Structure 1
């Protein structure tokens, strides 16, 4: 009996203090990637990962994320492309929910390029910088070359609320009855 209790106690202790936990496999779709900069999608949230050139350790990767609420991914792409056409005098500042991103445009070897400058957690003390990217690299990152740009332009599936649907049906029926009464 003592052995059974001891065995039960050992098994209970083993499961309670386990360090490894199986997580749900979440699907992340790669929209595009070039060298050390990539754009990824999970549900309606988009993440740009980049290798931080602002640190001494070149193995530092950073990221910033935003949701595609008002076609923000297409909007960001258009801002960058317009910056290549007419290089802005100063950096374009974008405020995201968690970070501040500056788009720094510069001509390198006569070719317009852009660099992401990230103020991590909106703190000007912690800065990350991506490599300079040209138009061809931006097209690749945003999926314009491989056709994956259609992934971020798809609308989110609509959620039907049964309570609203019945309310709308009753008002439609009432208005239909009013039309019938006026026709008589």
Structure 2
């Protein structure tokens, strides 16, 4: 009887582990950042996600993000668009449409130094967010350029 009970116990425990399936994952790679998690970039496969603290909302959990896949070298193209915006005369905002978001690159000058802010609107939820002001040096740090 003991052997029959142990055999039944092993079969039942073996079936319960049969429900667990290991799925393949793509590693997350943290790229450049500005400040202590004020603005940073994360890469998962070909997907790039920009995270930033929303300056309009002072809660600790007020992190917003926007993301896109790196199709046709879009990550490098975004860097070039941002840097070119610093050199534009006169400075003007640039509006970008991403798969799930609208992103405005809002350029201004503070203390005779140009800065940019990310201003985003999510297409599905209509939630908005504004990043801190970023200088050319901050953008280079964010995109890991020297």
Per the normalisation by structure 2, the TM-score is 0.78
Partners of 2:135 and 2:71 lie apart in 1 by 26
Q: CA RMSD in A?
A: 2.7
Asked if the contact 1:64–1:99 (Cα under 8 Å) also holds between the matched residues in 2, the reply is yes
1:28 aligns with 2:31: no
Asked if the contact 1:54–1:127 (Cα under 8 Å) also holds between the matched residues in 2, the reply is no
- Hey, which of these two has a bigger chunk of helix by percent? 1
Partner of 2:58: 56
Structure 1 spans left out of the alignment, 5+ residues? 146-184
Partners of 1:103 and 1:49 lie apart in 2 by 15
Q: 1:56 to 1:22 in 2, by over 3 A?
A: farther
Q: Note the 1:1-184 alignment, pairs <5 A.
A: 26-35=26-35, 36-86=38-88, 87-89=90-92, 91-121=93-123, 125-145=126-146
Which deviations, in whole Å up to 9, do the C-alpha atoms of 1:43-69 show, x marking residues without a partner? 111111111112131432121111111
Per-residue deviation at 1:15?
A: 6.5
Which ranges of 4 or more aligned residues in structure 1 deviate by more than 3 Å?
21-26
Structure 2 spans left out of the alignment, 5+ residues? none
Per the normalisation by structure 1, the TM-score is 0.63
In structure 2, the residue corresponding to 1:77 is in which secondary structure? Answer: helix
